[in-house]
Amino acid sequence: MKHIVKQTEPESFIVWKNKANDVWKPNYANIDKQERIDLFKSLKNEQGYICCYCERELNEDDCHIEHFKPKDKTKFPELQLEYSNLFCSCQVNTQKGEPLHCGNSKGNWFDESLLISPLDSNCEIRFKFTYDGQILPFHENDVTAKTTIEKLQLNIDKLKNLRKGVIDALFEDEDVSWYLEIKDGRFNEFYTTIKYLF
């Protein structure tokens, strides 16, 4: 999980939210198309175009806006438009039987004491990685890291295999510093995995 530093929310999103009046109240379901586009662009940009949880590359047709604290009316509806609560997560269009992970796996579950936030400046050092693609708690007794991995399904075969593919491709490389370079504001997939292992 890569540490994310939140930037300023898009001006168009601020203006749209400020249109609230006695008759109309903004909510997540009625975000206008342009404001949604600007919001996606801003979130992806501040994350370096990788998923806020697993660090897969964010593709245009396979990502969604993720509410860290769920927007469900029984949870945190007051935070549904709070920019600090919004991220971009992978996996939006799933096939029947495909295992869910990241934001889709978390769903409406939330426990602040058991879920590590990408906004936590220490989030990267709470996990360790193995050469076979696993992600594990850095300290065995870190229940929060363990629960985060489980709830986000970060160790499903699909993600382990994708991480292992990148690890294997770089294994013979004597210098992987090029992989850790930020190009045009973009991180390479599984950035913290490679930084940890190499």
* Residues 104-162 pLDDT 10s: 999 999 999 999 999 999 999 999 999 999 999 999 999 999 999 999 999 999 999 99
pTM, entire model? 0.94
* Residues 56-88 pLDDT 10s: 999 888 899 999 999 999 999 999 999 999 999
Torsion, Cα 55 56 59 63, to 10 degrees, reads -60
Given CA atoms 118, 98, 107, 130 in this order, what sign does their dihedral have?
A: negative
Q: Which two tokens stand for residue 60?
A: 């245009």
CB-CB neighbours of 32 under 10 Å: 13
Longest dimension (CA), the chain: 63
Q: Which two tokens stand for residue 43?
A: 């979130």
Q: Which two tokens stand for residue 97?
A: 């039987």
* Residues 3-20 pLDDT 10s: 999 999 999 999 999 998
54 and 104 in contact (C-beta within 8 Å)?
no
